[in-house]
Amino acid sequence: MTSLSQRWQQWRHDRRAVWLVYIALAMLLAALPFLTGAALGRGWVRILDFTLLYVMLALGLNIVVGYAGLLDLGYIAFYAVGAYMYALLASPHFDLHLPFWALLPLGAGLAGIFGILLGAPTLRLRGDYLAIVTLGFGEIIRIFLNNLNAPVNITNGPQGVNLIDPVAFGGFSLSQPHEFFGVRFPGLYAYYYLFLALALLMIFVSLRLQNSRIGRAWVAIREDEVAAEAMGINTRNIKLLAFAMGATFAGISGGLFAGFQGFISPESFNLFESIIILCMIVLGGMGNIPGVILGAVLLTVFPEALRYLGELQHYLFGRILVDPSDLRMLIFGLALILIMIFRPAGLLPSVRRRREFGSDASVLAQEQASLYDTQR
Amino acid sequence: MDILTQQLINGLVLGSIYALVALGYTMVYGILELINFAHGEVTMFGAMICLAVIGALAGSGTGLNGGTIVLLGLLAAIAVCMAMGFLIERIAYRPLRRAPRLAALITAIGMSIVLQNLAMLIWGRQYITFPPLLPLVRYELAGAVITNLQIFIMMLSCLLMIGLLMLVHKTRLGRAMRATAQAQDIAGLMGINTNTIISVTFVIGAALAAVAGVMVSAYYGLAHYYMGFMLGLKAFTAAVLGGIGNIAGAMLGGLLLGVIESLGAGYIGDLTGGFLGSNYQDVFAFFVLILVLIVRPSGLLGERVAERA
């Protein structure tokens, strides 16, 4: 066993091997929609697109919760802001049709401003109090979206906004099939590559932030805010920056969602969505980018895969005993509980958290507890 | 009819129900520092089980009068919910006692999803109506109308809250609960079986939730597998409003939230010149919550701010 792990370590540090892995991964990602489309059908390519949207959302929330340790339960509100910004400025609703390159930065910017608006009054709050205030904020945004159709019709209320312009670069609309080199690309595939590119950009930004001065400041605030302030970190600005960065990521994904879906309504932005995104990052491993991506992929694909429960029942019992759509969320909830019981730090925890959960974790906990006592 | 008195009465009734549910949140939080997300679902189960028992008894022609049937339904709901509270803690929270707090939060969310979908599998997606077993009597009070059901709900909640306060402050069990909340390990050294105390806390909270669930379904005449979610959210809001972990705070927060909501819903149209309607009722509750927390981050009666995130 040891020789194998040693060889693995050697192999990991071999530059050429690392590049080979990256190239293989890139080729897999490039071919993924075609492979999925051929093996599982067009529906799964759509799920693939949604998976990438959720990866972007999870990466954004990871900055707020994973890096800076600010528990945000209203994160979906920023997604909603981005989506509605796009929808209202590019649909027959106001008869505005702004181009895509203007819409995305606008949505991201507005979401960022909302992030600061939420962050500023909550700077004094910690832990669960922050959680409940952000939750309230998310609900307020959703209720306003739901009701701002009277007396002046702004959001079109519960019916939502329809016929949103698809994402288009000049005359190149992503919703229509295109032909390149004799290969036909349906719209879903084009969206996949756009989402993939933006998700990779966000991964890059997250990775670069992680080890930057700002990233270390976030971690310091997460671990001990008072100590961080004593070290000369401007906690107010750094916390607001975390909120704004996370919200910007969500605003971009929201705009993409609106263009991709062509229709949005307030129902897409309820509390449950915020909770699911939080589950993604906690389940995958907070603060660790591969973990966050894994969590997002698992929690998007797994409920969809559970739709095959009907066929499974047919195969096992010869008939359908329970409606699979009723059963799948039940199993989803059970899976959440089981994964957390067996891997409380997440599936792929960050190095720091893995150390905290090492053999000396109990000693550490006792030390902290006694320190806490002397403070009082 | 006097709108102010009427809305005050409605608010107090609604608030006393919120308070009962909020007590469950605040007791669990006081001991484990955990938001028991599944608590709203326990409330929903209380309503559903009571309605199932009522439906079975009322249709079978046992000759029992309406009051007895409702009482039996209530008792059945309390019993089942107590068992549920015990099992939820055992399955989803106890294995994670020493794990990071967010992990326990995720199992709580998982538990909530499981219970909600279990209820949907058992009782279906449709609304279940509360049969008119109890005669409704309406009284005139200072220009407003109050029903016997409303009076009953307020009195029962008051009794239960007084009982809980007595239990926590006057009995041995209550002293053990307070000790466990203050310092779990030290309480264990003093000979308190903290695991039992935590189980008891969950069971008491679940019993109160069952009563609240039956009250809600009787008051609105409806129950639904999804009802626990919003009710739980409001009750948790009430608990935070009063200062989470503080039992008297949960009661105050619940009553206050109920009154704020009804007054807000009743007057928001007049205040904004018809621009905002009563469909902004929920915004009002959350808005007040955010304001209170910004001015007083530890809640109205809370003493300490949670230090750990």
Residue A196 predicted with pLDDT over 90 = yes
Contact B293 A132 (CB under 8 A): yes
Q: Please tell me whether residues A101 and A181 are part of one structural domain.
A: yes
Its sign, for the CA torsion B94, B200, B249, B171, is: negative
CB-closest option in B107, B118, B299 to A340: B107
Count how many pairs of residues, chain A against chain B, have C-beta atoms within 8 Å. Answer: 145
Task: Render the burial of A362-371: b for 16+ CB within 10 Å, e for the rest.
Answer: eeeeeeeeee
Contacts of A277 in chain B (CB under 8 A): none
Check residue B33 and give left, alpha or beta (phi > 0: left; psi -120 to 50: alpha).
left
pLDDT at B77: 95
Given A275, A305, A335, the domain boundary residue is: A305
Q: Is residue B157 within 8 Å of B219, Cβ to Cβ? A: no
Contacts of B184 in chain A (CB under 8 A): none
pLDDT tens-digit series, residues A133-171: 888 888 889 888 888 877 778 888 888 888 888 887 766
Residue B1 predicted with pLDDT over 60 = no
Please give the residue that has the higher pLDDT: either A87 or A12: A87
Q: Please tell me whether residues A18 and A156 are part of one structural domain.
A: no
Q: Please tell me whether residues A215 and A282 are part of one structural domain.
A: yes
Q: Please tell me whether residues A21 and A76 are part of one structural domain.
A: no
- Mean pLDDT (chain A) is 83
Q: Please tell me whether residues A148 and A81 are part of one structural domain.
A: yes
Given A305, A340, A361, the domain boundary residue is: A305
Domain-located, residue A348: no
Q: Please tell me whether residues A238 and A301 are part of one structural domain.
A: yes
How many domains, in total, are found in chain A? 2
Nearest to B115 by CA among B14, B213, B6: B213
Contact A122 B294 (CB under 8 A): yes
- Tell me how far apart the alpha carbons of residues B20 and B43 are, in angstroms, rounded to a whole number: 10
CB-closest option in B117, B237, B306 to A330: B117
Determine what percent of chain A is predicted with pLDDT higher than 90: 29
Contacts of A283 in chain B (CB under 8 A): 106
Q: Please tell me whether residues A48 and A13 are part of one structural domain.
A: no
pLDDT band at A114 (very low <50, low <70, confident <90, very high): very high
- Tell me how far apart the alpha carbons of residues B130 and B247 are, in angstroms, rounded to a whole number: 31
Q: Which two tokens stand for residue A134?
A: 């952000």
Task: Tell me how far apart the 2 most distant CA atoms of chain B are, in Å.
Answer: 62
Contacts of B104 in chain A (CB under 8 A): 340
Mean pLDDT value across residues A293-299: 92
pLDDT at A149: 78
Helices marked H in chain B: 3-32, 39-59, 66-88, 101-123, 148-170, 172-182, 184-189, 194-220, 227-242, 247-271, 281-295
Residue A376 predicted with pLDDT over 70 = no
DSSP A264: B
Q: Which two tokens stand for residue A153?
A: 């019709």
pLDDT at A191: 87
Nearest to B19 by CA among B289, B253, B183: B253
Mean pLDDT value across residues A88-109: 86
Whether residue A124 lies within 8 A of chain B, CB to CB, comes out as: yes
Least reliable range by pLDDT among A277-286, A300-309, B45-54, B106-115:
A300-309
pLDDT tens-digit series, residues B207-266: 999 999 999 999 988 888 888 888 888 898 888 888 888 888 899 999 999 998 888 887
pLDDT tens-digit series, residues A214-261: 999 999 998 888 899 999 999 999 999 999 999 999 999 999 999 898
Whether residue A267 lies within 8 A of chain B, CB to CB, comes out as: no
Contacts of B121 in chain A (CB under 8 A): 322, 326-327, 330
Q: Which two tokens stand for residue A46?
A: 């759509």
Please identify among residues 146-165 of chain A the ones whose CB lies closer than 8 Å to any CB of chain B.
146-147, 150-151
Residue B39 predicted with pLDDT over 80 = yes
Interface test with A, best of B97, B107, B261 (most A CBs within 10 A): B107
Domain-located, residue A365: no
pLDDT at A1: 52
Contacts of B293 in chain A (CB under 8 A): 122, 125, 129, 132-133
pLDDT band at A359 (very low <50, low <70, confident <90, very high): very low
Q: Please tell me whether residues A79 and A162 are part of one structural domain.
A: yes
Mean pLDDT value across residues A181-186: 70
- Tell me how far apart the alpha carbons of residues B197 and B177 are, in angstroms, rounded to a whole number: 6
CATH of the domain at A201: 1.10.3470
H/E segment holding residue B141: strand B138-141
H/E segment holding residue A168: strand A168-169
Residue B164 predicted with pLDDT over 60 = yes
Q: Please tell me whether residues A106 and A194 are part of one structural domain.
A: yes
Domain-located, residue A363: no
Q: Chain A: nearest CA to B118, how far in angstroms?
A: 7
Q: Chain A: nearest CA to B235, how far in angstroms?
A: 12
Contacts of A150 in chain B (CB under 8 A): 277
pLDDT tens-digit series, residues B62-100: 777 878 888 999 999 999 999 999 999 998 899 888 877
Domain-located, residue A209: yes
Contact A337 B120 (CB under 8 A): no
Contacts of A336 in chain B (CB under 8 A): 106-107, 109-110, 113
pLDDT at B153: 93
pLDDT at A373: 45
Contact B293 A133 (CB under 8 A): yes
Contact A336 B286 (CB under 8 A): no
pLDDT band at A370 (very low <50, low <70, confident <90, very high): very low
Residue in B with minimal Cα distance to A327? B117
Domain-located, residue A204: yes
Residue B189 predicted with pLDDT over 50 = yes
Domain-located, residue A337: no
- Tell me how far apart the alpha carbons of residues B119 and A18 are, in angstroms, rounded to a whole number: 50
pLDDT band at A182 (very low <50, low <70, confident <90, very high): low
Q: Please tell me whether residues A22 and A83 are part of one structural domain.
A: no
- Tell me how far apart the alpha carbons of residues B107 and A291 are, in angstroms, rounded to a whole number: 18
Q: Please tell me whether residues A20 and A53 are part of one structural domain.
A: no
As a dihedral over the C-alpha atoms of residue B84, residue B85, residue B91, residue B92, rounded to 10 degrees, the angle is: 120
Q: Please tell me whether residues A8 and A146 are part of one structural domain.
A: no
pLDDT at B82: 96
Q: How far apart are the first and last CA of chain B?
A: 49
pLDDT tens-digit series, residues B202-221: 999 999 999 999 999 999 88
CB-closest option in A129, A143, A222 to B280: A143
pLDDT at A354: 66
pLDDT at B167: 93
The CB-based long-range contact list for B93-97 (8 Å cut-off, 24+ gap) reads B93/B32, B93/B34, B93/B36, B94/B195, B94/B198, B95/A341, B96/A340, B96/A341, B96/A344, B97/B32
Contacts of A345 in chain B (CB under 8 A): 99-100, 103
Contact A137 B290 (CB under 8 A): yes
pLDDT tens-digit series, residues A37-92: 788 888 888 899 999 999 999 999 999 998 998 888 889 999 999 999 999 998 88
Given A244, A275, A305, the domain boundary residue is: A305
pLDDT at B203: 95
Q: Cα A86 vs. chain centroid, distance in angstroms?
A: 19
Interface test with A, best of B117, B185, B231 (most A CBs within 10 A): B117
Whether residue A283 lies within 8 A of chain B, CB to CB, comes out as: yes
Contact A136 B289 (CB under 8 A): yes
pLDDT at A166: 83
Domain-located, residue A323: no
pLDDT at B3: 79
Residue B185 predicted with pLDDT over 80 = yes
pLDDT at B303: 62
pLDDT band at A358 (very low <50, low <70, confident <90, very high): low
CB-closest option in B29, B290, B309 to A133: B290
Residue B102 predicted with pLDDT over 80 = no
- Among A172-181, A215-224, A244-253, A274-283, name the most confident range: A244-253
Please identify among residues 336-355 of chain A the ones whose CB lies closer than 8 Å to any CB of chain B.
336-337, 340-341, 344-345, 353
- Domain of A287? 41-305
Residue in A with minimal Cα distance to B290? A133
pLDDT at B207: 95
